[in-house]
Chains A and B, each alone.
Chain A
Amino acid sequence: MRMRKTAAAGAVVLALAATATACGGKSGSAGDKAAAADVYSHDYTPAKNVKLDSAVLKAAQKKGHITIGVKADQPFLGFYDTGTKKYSGFDIEIAKMVAADLGFSTKQITFTTVDSNARETKISSGDVDFFVGTYTINVERKKQVGFAGPYYTAGADLLVRKEDKSITGPKSLRGKKVCSIKGSTPLQEIKKAQYGTSETLELSKYSECVTKLLDGSVNAVTTDDAILKGFAAERPGKLRVVDQPFTKEPYGVGLNKDDKVLREAITKALENHIANGDYEKAYKGTLGKSGSKFVKPQTPLPRG
C-alpha cells in the first residue's frame, strides 16, 4: 500500500511538471533584467567565394555551417540565455566577425558550449572548427592547439565581497580561501607559495564560484578581470573587483594546430575588424558596459 501511495505521489509530481512545462508561460529571459538585456549584437556581412586551402574550412563549407566553441557562463563575454536560447557577449561578436570573413553568416554558425577543461580535447579532435572563449595563449597549450591573435589582453584579478576591505591585491591573500575553475591559468599562479593562500577551491563553473563567494565559503574568486567585471556588473551591490591585475592573459582564437592557412585567415579577419571599427563597437556594447576601458589591440597581430 505504501508503495502505491508513493507511486501516486510520483505520478502527481510528474504530471505537474508536464503541465507546467507544456503550457507556455511568460516569454523573455527570467530573472534580473539588467544583466541579460541590451548586450550588443550585430550581424556581419559574410565574405563571398572564400577559397582557402584549409582542411577544416573545406569540411565546414561542405556541411554548410561552421561549428564554433564558446563559453556559456560569462556575462558580457560568452553568455547563454536559457530563456531565449541565444549566445551573447564580446567573444560571441568576435566569433561572428571571424566567421563572416570565412564566408559564414550568423545563421550558418553552430555555437557549442565548451567547458574550460575540455577545450584542448575539443579543438584538437576537430569537434569545433575554432574556439573563442577567454582562451589564454600560452606555451603549454601551443603544444596541442594553434592560436590566432591575441585579440584582447586581460589580466588575472580578484573578485571579492563589496564590504570586504581586507583584500587589496594578490599579496593580501595570505590565509584566505580562493575559488577558480579547474585548470585555469590564474589558479595555477595563485597556488604558488609566495601568495600563501590557505585553500583553493576548484569548481567547473564561474557562477558556482561566485555563489560560494556570496555564501561566504570563500574570500575571493580569481580569474581574468574581464570575466570578473561581468559578474561584478551583474551584482553591483554585492561584489567588487579589486582591480590589481597580476598576470597578462592574451586571448587568442584556438584552432587546429596544423591548419596554418586557417590561422592566417582568422588573423586577417581579426585585423580587418579591428581596423574597420567593428571591434570597438562590439567592445563598447559588451565588455565596456561592465566597466572595462577600451584599449585597441596592436596590429598587425603576431604570426609566429
Chain B
Amino acid sequence: MSGASVLYDVPGPKAKVRNRIYSVLGALAVLALIGFIVLRLSANGDFDPARWDIFNYAGVRNSIRDGVLATLQVFAIAAVLSLAVGVLLAVARLSDHRPVRWLATGFIELFRSIPLLITIYAIWVLLLNNRTELGLSDNQPQFWALVIGLTVYNGSVQAEVLRAGILSVPKGQREAAYALGMRKTQVMTTVLIPQAVRAMLPTIISQLVVTLKDTSLGYIITYEELLYSTRLLAGNTTVGGENPYVQVIIVTGAIYIAMCLALSALANWIERRGRRAKTGIGVVEAGDVGNAGALTAAVAAEAAADTTADTAN
C-alpha cells in the first residue's frame, strides 16, 4: 500500500503516544470481538472435544477427501474449458464479421447477466430431460451441468478480460506484424494473444479463484462436491443430540480458504515474474479493481475496470 503512507505524517512524539493508545484500544476491541465469539460458542459446547472427535473417524475423513477431490475435478475441467471458451469468445467479439461479433456479444452479455445458480439449474434440467439421447448415466448429468454452467459463465468473463488484454497491446505491434506479411490468424495467435494473456494473467487467475469458489453452487443440483458432502455430513451426524454444524463449517471454510489462497499465491508469483520481463506492457494488478491505469490504451483501461470487478461475483 504505497498510498497509505501519504495519508498521514511520520508520527512525532505526541502522535506516537496517541497511535500507541489507539493501537492498544484497537487490539483490545478486536480481541474482545474474538473473545465474545469464542465465549458464546463455548457456552454452547462447541469447543467440547467430543464434537471435534468426529474428524478422527476414517469415514468422515474419507467423505471430506472425496468432496475435495470432486470439487477439484469439476474445477480442473471447468477451468480449462472456460479458458478455451474465453479465447474463442474474445476473438469472436473482435472479429471483422458483424454476425460473428454480434453472436459473441449476445452470448457473453446473456450469460454474464444471469445468476450462475440459475444457469446451472437450467442446464441440469435440460440434461436430465435429454439424458438418454445424450447417453449420460447416473451422476453424469450433475457433473456436466456444473462443468458447462461454470464454463459458459466464467468463459464469458474470461473473454472480456482477454479482450481488454488484446486491446491493451500497443497498436504498433499489430501494425508491425501486418507489415511483416502475417495473416489475421497469425497476428492474433502469435502476437496479440500471448501478450494479452501475459498482461491479464493475474486477473485471469483471480477469476479462476471465483470458478473454484463457484463449484460450491453444485449443491443445488446434488453434485457431491465439498460443500454438499460436508453439509450432509453435518446433518447426518449427531453428537450429544446436536448436529456439529459449527465444527464442520469451520473445517470446510479452512479448506476452501486454503485452496483459494494457494491459487491466489500462484497469481502473485506469476505477477512478480511478469514484472521482471520487459515487454512494455504493464500487468494489471490482480483483483486491484479500478487500478487499470497500468494499461496503455484508454479503451482497454475502461474495459479492464469493468471486467476486473466481475471477479466480485
- Hey, which bits of chain A sit against chain B, CB under 8 A? 3-4, 6-7, 9-11, 13-14, 17, 20-22, 24-32, 35, 63, 67, 72-73, 79-85, 110, 112-115, 118, 121-122, 125-127, 205-208, 210-211, 214, 234-235, 237-238
Using Cβ atoms and an 8 Å threshold, which residues of chain B touch A4?
A: 265
Closest to A15 in B: B258
Contact of A30 with B53 at beta-carbon distance under 8 Å, contacts A7-B262, A80-B232 already known = yes
Q: Taking CB as reference atom, which chain B residue is nearest A10? A: B261
How far is A38 from B238 in the complex, measured between Cα atoms in Å? 16
- From residue 228 to 252 of chain B, which have CB atoms closer than 8 A to chain A? 229, 231-245
**Given A10, A35, A83, which contacts B60 in the complex, CB threshold below 8 Å?**
A83
Q: List 9 A-B contacts (CB under 8 A).
A: A7-B262, A11-B258, A26-B56, A26-B58, A82-B60, A82-B63, A112-B138, A113-B222, A122-B128
Does A11 lie within 8 Å of B262, measured CB to CB?
yes
Q: State whether B258 touches A27 (Cβ < 8 A).
A: no
A-chain residues with CB within 8 Å of residue B137 when the two chains form the complex: 63
B129 to chain A: which residues have CB within 8 Å? 125
B268 partner, pick from A7, A63, A235, beta carbons under 8 A:
A7
- A contact patch SS: mixed
Instruction: Give Cα A32–Cα B240 distance, bound, in whole angstroms.
Output: 6
Within the complex, the shortest CB–CB distance from A116 to chain B, in Å, comes to 11
* From B59, B68, B242, residue with most partner A Cβ within 10 Å: B59
The proximity string for B residues 131-146 relative to A, scoring 1 for CB distances below 8 Å and 0 otherwise, is: 1100001110100000
Contact yes or no, A125 B57, CB < 8 A = no
CB atoms of B238 and A121 under 8 A apart: no
Taking CB atoms, residues of chain B closer than 8 Å to A22 are: 65
CA of A182 to CA of B254, assembled, Å: 29
A199, chain B: closest CB distance, angstroms: 21
B interface residue numbers (CB < 8 A to A): 53-65, 68, 125, 128-129, 131-132, 137-139, 141, 221-222, 229, 231-245, 254-255, 257-259, 261-262, 264-265, 268
The chain B residue with its CB closest to the CB of A113 is: B222
Residues of A within 8 A of B265 (CB): 3-4, 6-7, 10-11
A residues in contact with B62, CB < 8 Å: 21, 85
Assess whether B235 is in contact with A73, with CB atoms less than 8 Å apart: yes
Question: Of B60, B231, B240, which is in contact with the most chain A CB atoms at under 10 Å from its CB?
Answer: B60
Q: Which of A27, A112, A127, A206 contacts B59 (CB 8 A)?
A: A27
B58 touches A207 (CB 8 A): no
Nearest Cβ distance between residue A261 and chain B, in whole angstroms?
Answer: 18
Chain B residue numbers with a CB within 8 Å of A125 are 125, 128-129, 131
A84 CB contacts on chain B under 8 angstroms: 59
Find the A residue at minimum CB distance from B255: A17
Q: Which residues of A contact B236 (CB under 8 A)?
A: 72-73, 79-82, 207
Distance in Å from the Cβ of A294 to the closest Cβ of chain B?
26
Q: Which residue of A lies closest to B233 (CB)?
A: A82
Residue of A nearest to B228 (CB): A113
With CB as the reference atom, state the residue of chain A lying closest to B271.
A3
**Is A118 a contact of B261 with CB atoms below 8 Å?**
no
- Complex CA gap A24/B237 in Å reads 19
Inter-chain CA distance A11–B258, complex, in Å, is 7
Contact A85 B262 (CB under 8 A): no
Given contacts A20-B61, A80-B232, A81-B59, contact A14 B259 (CB under 8 A): yes
Cβ contact within 8 Å between A207 and B235: yes
Question: When the two chains form the complex, which single residue of A9, A32, A114 contacts B239, counting CB atoms closer than 8 Å?
Answer: A32
Question: Are B257 and A10 in contact, CB atoms less than 8 angstroms apart?
Answer: yes
CB distance from A208 to the nearest CB of B (A): 7
Residues of B within 8 A of A67 (CB): 138
Set of chain A residues within 8 Å of B54, measured between Cβ atoms: 30-31
- Choice from B55, B222, B239 contacting A118 with Cβ under 8 Å: B222
Q: Do residues A208 and B235 form an inter-chain contact, with CB atoms below 8 A?
A: yes
B239 smallest CB distance to A (angstroms): 5
Instruction: Select one of A9, A27, A32, A122 contacting B238, CB under 8 A.
Output: A32
Other than the given A207-B236, A211-B242, 20 more pairs (CB < 8 A) read A7-B261, A10-B261, A11-B258, A13-B254, A13-B257, A20-B55, A25-B55, A25-B58, A25-B61, A31-B238, A79-B236, A80-B232, A112-B139, A114-B222, A121-B125, A125-B125, A125-B131, A205-B235, A214-B241, A235-B241
Report the 3 A-B pairs with minimum CB-CB distance, sorted nearest first.
Answer: A83-B59, A7-B265, A10-B261
Name the residue of chain A whose CB is nearest to the CB of B244.
A31
Instruction: Determine whether the beta carbon of A126 is less than 8 Å from that of B222.
Output: no
Contacts of B222 in A (CB 8 A): 113-115, 118
B237 touches A82 (CB 8 A): yes
